[in-house]
Homo-oligomer: A and B are copies of this chain.
Amino acid sequence: MSACIIVSPVEASAEAELAARLHVVDSDQPQVSVLDLGVTRGDGIFEVLGVINGKPQAVDAHLRRLGVSAAMLDLPKLDLEAIRAAIYQVVELAEKHDEFSVKVIVTRGIEGSGVATAWVLAFKAPDDFAAERAEGVKVVLLDRGYPHDIAARAPWLLAGAKTLSYAVNKAVLREAARRGADDVVFTSSDGYLLEGPSASLILKFGNKIWTPATAQGILPGTTQGAAFEYFADAGFATAQVLLRTEQLWDADAAWLTSSGRMLVPICEVDGRPIPVDHALTEAGNAALLARTN
């Protein structure tokens, strides 16, 4: 079902008419150069937006995060309005499903050109998110190798930027599968809970809803943000905090959250069951799936 639009992504191009900055292309044909730093060096950034009932979700939050990633990678200042227009146009072009996704990719472009490359792509993820929301996922804890204060200490490691250099984020899923699990929660080398390779972590302790603080070099989750709005409206106290790994075992409930998953309960950690709050999961997902933007 994939539909694709190539975008002129930098502010200088904003002088051209919007339509001249967007080019619908055939995603079944090659569109990327073998000289593009996105593929030769994973040197670029991305976002994945959920599209629910034809409406792309949290567009502002995704564009804001894309801009932060661009700044962390010293990419040119992006023309976020062209990218926004491309997102809405590719949603129109895409085959209709109740839920699908739009990926935005910006690379540093062809080596030596100094011109960034960007495209947006509508696609249907193969995952069965409805089943995961109902049944939960098994996770393993894997060390991300960095201490929790890495982002402040070594910004050149790009911790907290959503880059195309995600080989490790895929490798940990293979390690999880080898251990009989579905997904991963990264921990810092000094024993803090962080995030999944493509999801944020949310924990419930009584009337408190906590997520690991982004100061630890992790991504501000767009769907985690929307879920926190739901939880706050439902009377919970929400906060970004430092969470020791062992606190996971004291939680009343834990979720992975992302723009495709919404709230997926974690039912098992390192082979040991943890409590699942099915009622709260259903209520939260109903709210997230009823969003109009």
- Interface residues of chain A, those whose CB is within 8 Å of chain B, are 2, 4, 27-44, 46, 73-74, 103, 105, 107-108, 112, 119, 121, 123, 126, 142-147, 150, 153-159, 161, 163-172, 174-175, 189
Contacts and interface: CB of A to CB of B under 8 A. Distances in A.
A159 B157 CA distance: 14
A105 B40 contact: yes
30 contacts: A27-B34, A28-B33, A29-B30, A29-B33, A31-B33, A31-B34, A32-B32, A32-B39, A34-B105, A34-B119, A35-B123, A37-B170, A38-B39, A39-B39, A39-B164, A40-B46, A40-B103, A41-B166, A41-B167, A42-B164, A44-B167, A74-B171, A74-B174, A112-B126, A145-B145, A156-B174, A158-B168, A163-B165, A163-B167, A164-B165
B163 A157 contact: no
Nearest to A120: B34
A112 B124 CA distance: 12
A34 B32 contact: yes
A282 B143 CA distance: 44
A168 B165 contact: yes
Contacts of A42: 41-42, 163-167
Contacts of A32: 30-34, 36, 39
A158 B172 CA distance: 10
A121 to B, nearest CB: 6
A43 B158 contact: no
A75 B150 CA distance: 30
Give the top 9 A-B pairs by smallest Cβ distance, nearest first: A42-B42, A165-B165, A165-B167, A32-B32, A39-B39, A41-B166, A42-B165, A156-B175, A163-B167
A126 B103 CA distance: 33
B156 A142 contact: yes
**Which residue among A2, A42, A157, A172 has the maximum number of chain B CB atoms within 10 Å of its CB?**
A42
Contact of A73 (B103, B150, B155, B167): B167
Contact of A154 (B34, B39, B123, B145): B145
